[in-house]
Amino acid sequence: LTDNIGKLNGYLARFHDHGIQNLIAGESRPAASGAVFDTTSPVDESVICPVARGGAEDIDAAARAAADAFPAWRDMAAAERKAILIRIAEGIEARAEEIALCECWDTGQALRFMSKAALRGAANFRFFADKVASARDGQNLRSPTLMNVTTRVPLGPVGVITPWNTPFMLSTWKIAPALAAGCTVVHKPAEFSPLTARILAEIAHEAGLPDGVWNLVNGFGEDAGRALTEHPAIKAIAFVGESKTGSMIMKQGADTLKRVHFELGGKNPVVVFDDADLDRALDAAIFMIYSLNGERCTSSSRLLVQDTIADEFEARLIERVNRIKVGHPLDPATEVGPLIHKVHFDKVTSYFDIAKTDGATVAAGGERVGDQGWFVRPTLFTGATNEMTIAQEEIFGPVLTSIRFASEAEALEITNDTQYGLTGYVWTNDLTRALRFTDRLEAGMIWVNSENVRHLPTPFGGVKASGIGRDGGDWSFEFYMEQKHIGFAL
Ligand code: NAD
């Protein structure tokens, strides 16, 4: 821990002079208004550094820079664009330790889960670098009188708005395909955790990305974020965040007919049938809610457990949850770090009382840890039913709600009785049941006998209030590109 804190202080020293500035048209700039806000660490509430508080004027400058840079970036030879994306991946790998330590300090996520976040970000750039050459491929759909050719063209400048929970990885996940498609970008990262977005934009700049192709504007959702979604030069918004923010963005973008891609909230079920491999199911259920502080869109925050095994399964769960190590995020032994911010801490801890009022049992946790920083004890609610608030609302913390079911039909009904539909996890050794159940489960992504394991060519996204659109593989290009048809008379 001491060693990691020493290294972190070395990395943060560079932010002491100018704080975090915006990056517009290749230039570091303070906000046009001169305004700043502080980013603080959730470990002890200390100020990390001031951050430029961008507004409509900064967004306008960034959108213009992105529009100016677009034609040359679109028309650059694929091999050259690919080489730049690979250099960005290499730059990320070279600074992986700095990225991991800064992200943990800024977000409170434990280093043991974050140490690989930078490498996953680099993998995103490598994956989409490999797809640059084929991004524009189309088809020949010949008719008796026409040679019909299709091609794909990049949309133009796009806005990317990201949340605070795993900011580095999520930013790469959106920006890499946008650049591979030939779009230029204005990125507005979350105000709670802006450190690594700045490092990422610098890496791209140093990798030789032409000025204006990737612009970074920090600021709050209601001013910088809003201005981005309303700007006429921005053709689309790729957004990751809360469902209610997605709905606001859709309204804000209506006048300029924005194309939107939303990755939103979840209340994902992990369904454990009595014929499952219970040891593995237990490990996965714990990992998918208590890793990354439970501040993870794909976390399994509802446990549905068959009543025949529920007593034993919950008893084993309680014993394991009570052993989870809460502590400093830079301590390699820590499993759960502090929640991002007081605002979020207040939200998560409010469910401890809500659970009791609802009539559920707080079987583990349910309290703050220490009196400095935003630490909470990993929490398990048992005796819950699906209509309770704790089973319906996204808590977005290390908090699991356990609900019992008697039959497959009841499990399916409970599973789908939610506004969300991001992921689902099903544990059973009955193949026919797995097929039947997953066919009816309302979610964009389902894993059977597995935790969430991301494979980049597969589609990522949710249904219902969990999102619109898909990322991954060629699906990303469906969003960042326009299909064009050209008919040649024969
Ligand atoms: P949030 O919606 O509060 O904020 C996300 C981003 O939107 C921030 O950059 C914020 O400044 C900006 N924003 C806020 N209001 C805006 C507005 N009116 N116009 C434009 N931009 C605006 O979300 P959060 O609290 O930062 O993140 C947590 C949420 O993100 C959770 O609901 C979580 O499930 C979701 N999430 C989803 C995925 C996914 O892939 N589905 C991944 C990670 C997080």
Q: Count Cβ atoms below 10 Å from residue 406 Cβ, excluding itself.
A: 10
| Confidence (pLDDT) at 16 | 87
| Confidence (pLDDT) at 17 | 82
Positive or negative, the CA dihedral 112, 96, 240, 54 is positive
| Confidence (pLDDT) at 242 | 98
For the CA of 164, the closest atom of ligand 1 is 26
- Angstrom distance (rounded) from CA 107 to CA 340: 5
Tokens of 237: 């918004």
* Alpha-carbon distances, residue 168 vs 24, 92, 160, 341, 360 (angstroms): 19, 10, 13, 18, 36
- Angstrom distance (rounded) from CA 170 to CA 193: 12
For the CA of 249, the closest atom of ligand 1 is 19
Q: Count Cβ atoms below 10 Å from residue 380 Cβ, excluding itself.
A: 28
pLDDT tens figures, 348-401: 999 999 999 999 999 999 999 999 999 999 999 999 999 999 999 999 999 999
- Angstrom distance (rounded) from CA 420 to CA 178: 27
- Angstrom distance (rounded) from CA 83 to CA 89: 10
What ipTM is given for this predicted complex? 0.96
Catalytic site residue 263? Answer: yes
Establish whether residue 244 lines the binding site of ligand 1, counting it when its CB lies within 6 angstroms of any ligand atom: no
- Please name the residues in contact with 6: beta carbons below 8 A apart, sequence gap of 6 or more: none
| Confidence (pLDDT) at 161 | 98
Per-residue pLDDT of the chain (490 residues; tens, 9 = 90+): 999 999 999 999 999 888 999 999 999 999 999 999 999 999 999 999 999 999 999 999 999 999 999 999 999 999 999 999 999 999 999 999 999 999 999 999 999 999 988 999 999 999 999 999 999 999 999 999 999 999 999 999 999 999 999 999 999 999 999 999 999 999 999 999 999 999 999 999 999 999 999 999 999 999 999 999 999 999 999 999 999 999 999 999 999 999 999 999 999 999 999 999 999 999 999 999 999 999 999 999 999 999 999 999 999 999 999 999 999 999 999 999 999 999 999 999 999 999 999 999 999 999 999 999 999 999 999 999 999 999 999 999 999 999 999 999 999 999 999 999 999 999 999 999 999 999 999 999 999 999 999 999 999 999 999 999 999 999 999 999 999 999 999 9
Q: Give distance in angstroms: CA of 246 to centre of ligand 1.
A: 8
Establish whether residue 253 lines the binding site of ligand 1, counting it when its CB lies within 6 angstroms of any ligand atom: no
Q: State which of 53, 164, 242, 475 you would mutate to test the pocket of ligand 1, scoring each by most atoms of that ligand within 8 A of its C-beta.
A: 242
Q: Give distance in angstroms: CA of 163 to centre of ligand 1.
A: 4
| Confidence (pLDDT) at 348 | 98
Establish whether residue 171 lines the binding site of ligand 1, counting it when its CB lies within 6 angstroms of any ligand atom: no
Q: What's the predicted TM-score (pTM) here?
A: 0.98
Q: Give distance in angstroms: CA of 431 to centre of ligand 1.
A: 37
Tokens of 269: 């079920």
| Confidence (pLDDT) at 43 | 98
Q: Are 414 and 385 in contact (CB under 8 A)?
A: no
Positive or negative, the CA dihedral 176, 177, 180, 186 is negative
Q: Give distance in angstroms: CA of 241 to centre of ligand 1.
A: 2
| Confidence (pLDDT) at 18 | 85
Establish whether residue 247 lines the binding site of ligand 1, counting it when its CB lies within 6 angstroms of any ligand atom: no
Beta strands 184-188; 214-216: pairing state = parallel
* Alpha-carbon distances, residue 44 vs 28, 97, 108, 317, 375 (angstroms): 29, 22, 10, 30, 10
Orientation of helix 96-107 relative to helix 78-94, angle to 10°:
70
- Angstrom distance (rounded) from CA 311 to CA 292: 27
Question: String of b and e for 203-227 (b: at least 16 CB within 10 Å)?
Answer: bbbebebeebbbbbbbbebebbbbb
| Confidence (pLDDT) at 414 | 98
For the CA of 166, the closest atom of ligand 1 is 43
* Alpha-carbon distances, residue 400 vs 108, 158, 358, 411, 436 (angstroms): 19, 37, 15, 17, 26
Establish whether residue 297 lines the binding site of ligand 1, counting it when its CB lies within 6 angstroms of any ligand atom: yes
